[in-house]
Amino acid sequence: MRYAIVSETYPPEINGVALTVQGLEQGLRARGHQVALVRPRQPHERDSAAHELLMRSLPLPRYPGLRVGLPATRQLVEAWRAQPPDAIYVATEGPLGWSAVRAARRLGVPVATGFHTRFDEYMRDYGLPFLVGTALRWMRRFHNAADATLVPTRELAEFLRVRGFEDVVRLPRAVDTALFDPRRRSQALRRAWGIPDGGVAAIYVGRIAPEKNLDLAVRAFRALQQQRPEARFVWVGDGPARAKLEREHPDFVYCGLRRGEALAEHFASGDLFLFPSRSETFGNVTLEAMASGVPTIAFDYGAAHEHLRDGEHGAAIADGDEAGFIAAAVRIGSDDALRAAMARAGRDAIADLRPEQVAADFDAVLSGLADTAPRRPPRHGKPLAVQDEREVV
């Protein structure tokens, strides 16, 4: 079949959405499908691959290195009219994403959207709590214009359903356990971090930005450090809050962005993953940490709620319990035997998750839309009604 994927973030940008979209695209190709990718043009790019359509873009304010696609409904209509896709997947809710949904509806091509980012929670993180309701209504309008909205967890599916999101489909996530593996642990890397024999390396992997609630990770580490003075805090990633963090905590280890085997080596070389974010739709890094044999402290939602068993693989903390997060970091971080047991259990818990199954499930959603709703006209006046959740299993 011929599919189109539209995303306003894609590698070489490094974030959870970009890497998830790339994995879905590669999974469809591995299954023998043609996939056309629509994404913003990067400043250094002049030519595009045959399967890519690069669109005009602008830098995303407050996020160096990220860009947002400009509206392009007419261009997408022309491109898809010339080479009609059987179904379209729109991963992001920016101007390019809205244009893609409009173009799909205009052409009558089935379209699914992905709910990857909690923009309503971002409003709180950036000091705009009065816009939470507006952001949620904006997202609902966007996703309800599609034939299906794909989400990674049952918890998120239920959250959206009760708020009037229609046609919600759960598409579970997986992790590459061949890449993220405890055997990639590197003593040479740990020595470069300044970790002595028997020392503890707390690690954070992800975007260094306000919405990640990073002050809590810092406070948890400092509490752990009182029990284990030799502990070091290793940061893997980049973002708008990194410069301030480096000024305030020069003793931390800052590794910058890492991808592929380098990222897997950094993960496996840590001892405790501190993930304090409360604004994720899933949190791929939780699965990557568990696959790498690194006990995880996270709030009990998203990937942690689906896969992390409190007391077995780390700690799944009740939402908002910052004292509990800090206490768990101290308790687990200072107990070498407990961390070793959790590392083994966490790895075993996600050993059967396979990216190939995610690709098959994604293919089933898109092909199902193409088979059951081929070239249907745009929907007008569809009421906001809660419908039964669909799930790919």
Instruction: Please name the amino acid found at residue 189.
Output: L
What pLDDT, on the 0 to 100 scale, is given for residue 117? 78
What pLDDT, on the 0 to 100 scale, is given for residue 62? 64
Domain boundaries, the chain: 2-174+355-391, 182-349
Q: Per residue of the chain (393 residues), what is the pLDDT tens digit?
A: 999 999 999 988 888 889 999 999 999 999 999 999 999 988 777 666 778 999 988 877 666 667 788 899 999 999 999 999 999 999 999 899 999 999 999 999 999 999 987 666 655 655 667 666 787 888 899 999 999 999 999 999 999 999 999 999 999 999 999 999 999 999 999 999 999 999 999 999 999 998 899 999 999 999 999 999 999 999 999 999 999 999 999 999 999 999 999 999 999 999 999 999 988 889 999 999 999 999 999 999 999 999 999 999 999 999 889 999 999 999 999 999 999 999 999 999 998 899 999 999 999 999 999 988 654 454 443 433 333 445 553
- Residue 389 corresponds to which tokens in the numbers above? 């959740």
Closest residue by Cα to residue 120 from 205, 211, 209: 211
- Tally the C-alpha atoms within 13 A of residue 265's C-alpha that lie toward its C-beta: 14
What pLDDT, on the 0 to 100 scale, is given for residue 372? 80
Structure letter (DSSP) for residue 365: H
Distance (Å, whole) CA 319 – CA 299: 6
Q: Are 90 and 72 in contact (CB under 8 A)?
A: no
- Tally the C-alpha atoms within 13 A of residue 145's C-alpha that lie toward its C-beta: 21
Distance (Å, whole) CA 393 – CA 389: 13
* CATH class label, 182-349: alpha beta
Q: What is the pTM of this model?
A: 0.84
182-349 and 2-174+355-391 share a CATH fold: yes
Backbone φ/ψ region at 311: left (φ over 0), alpha (ψ -120 to 50), beta? left
Q: How far is CA 242 from the centre of its chain?
A: 19
Say if domain 2-174+355-391 classifies as CATH 3.40.50.2000.
yes
Distance (Å, whole) CA 141 – CA 73: 17
- The CA-based diameter of the chain, rounded to the nearest angstrom, is 66
Q: Are 332 and 325 in contact (CB under 8 A)?
A: no
